[in-house]
Amino acid sequence: MPTKGRSFSMIQSESFLIGILHLIRLLSLYRDDDKRRGRPYVYPTTVILRCYIVRIWMRIPSNNCLHYYFSVDSTYSRKVMRACGLKMLPDRRTFDRRFKVLPIGDIISAMGRRFAAENLVDPDIVAVDSSLVTARGPMWHWNHIRKGIIPRPGIDTDARWGFARTKGWIFGYKMHMVSSTGKLVVPLSAEITPANIHDNLQYRELVGCLPETVRYVAGDLGYRDYKLHDYSRQRGIVLVCPIRRFRHTKKKRLELIRFYRSRKDQKIYRTRRVSIEPLFDCVKETFCVSVVPVRGFESVSSYLLACVFAYQVAVYYNCVTGSDRPRCVRYMLGN
């Protein structure tokens, strides 16, 4: 395994959190573009990202509380600040502004490619799916949404209604994800949308940033779109999803139906049940995000994607430190 030859001596620390913060710095998953228009950032993106991971990891409820935590003069908080790369404490409004625009989706994809490049995951077969997350606050009913009426304060007006076969109608957001299959199941790419966005509309963004070694993508009925099969074929990928046969089905579609019903394709499709489907529950339960704790699309997107990235980097931390059970992340929280 290539990671064993690397030098990760700095991540051996007194707590999992500090070790993971050091690991994020060593991985160099994102670099600020020097040609970016506007005033350069005072605090690099990787520094702000590590601060956000502290909030996620320690379940700090707000940016105000995170700012207060860093301002407390204690030995451990000073160590956490140094591990984040902070030489001075940013303003609380800096957290508010920067947390909403963090490119966490790109960082998740870069981390997924690292898992594949180091042969930590199966680079051949991946699974794609989505899961609904309930919005914070009261529900906004359809008749009020159509009329533009906000009947009470605290409603997240960016959330929408979505339907899941197992849970019914949910008012909130949708987490789209591609995961590896096989022995080690981790997220490889992720996106957040309102709950009413169909799965097939996010397929290109999710698959477009996958490693070139991917050959099969297993998806459910939500990805039954012939245009997605064409897009996958252009990338050298086979989309494996249920396809129905109709009376006037075209010849190309019949070929896809025959392939889906083959023994090999059925075996690939069944990998979803033991990979991405339980992975959603694992991420939600680990970071307690069955109900998202923030409001507004930008805040919700950053928060949920930060949870996905925190899970990724925790699993990677366990891999490079030689843990026998790298996916056991929940026991690491609060350290």
Domain residue ranges of the chain, discontinuous segments joined by +: 2-102, 107-279
Among 185, 234, 227, smallest CA distance to 208 is for 234
What size, in residues, is the chain? 335
The vertex-200 CA angle with 117 and 268, nearest 5°, equals 50
- What's the CA dihedral at 256, 261, 264, 270 to 10 degrees? 110
CATH 2.30.30 fits 107-279, yes or no: no
- The C-alpha atoms of residue 278 and residue 186 are separated, in whole angstroms, by 11
pLDDT in 10s for each residue of the chain, 335 residues: 444 444 554 565 678 999 999 999 998 888 877 446 667 788 999 999 999 999 999 999 999 999 999 999 899 999 999 999 999 999 999 999 999 999 999 999 999 999 999 999 988 999 999 999 999 999 999 999 999 999 999 999 999 999 988 889 999 999 999 999 989 999 999 999 999 999 999 999 999 999 889 999 998 888 888 888 889 889 989 888 877 655 555 556 656 655 656 677 778 888 889 999 999 999 999 999 999 999 999 999 999 999 999 999 999 999 998 888 898 898 888 64
Alpha carbon 110 to its chain's center: 12
Task: Please provide residue 179's backbone torsions phi and psi, each rounded to the nearest 5 degrees.
Answer: -125, 160
| pTM for this model (two decimals) | 0.91
- How many CB atoms are closer than 10 A to CB 42? 11
Q: Residue 252: what pLDDT?
A: 61
Contact 99, 302 (CB under 8 A): yes
Q: How far is CA 133 from the centre of its chain?
A: 13
Angle at which helix 75-84 crosses helix 16-27, to 10 degrees, equals 20
Tokens 């998202």 belong to which residue? Answer: 292
Find out whether 90 and 66 touch, Cβ atoms under 8 Å: no
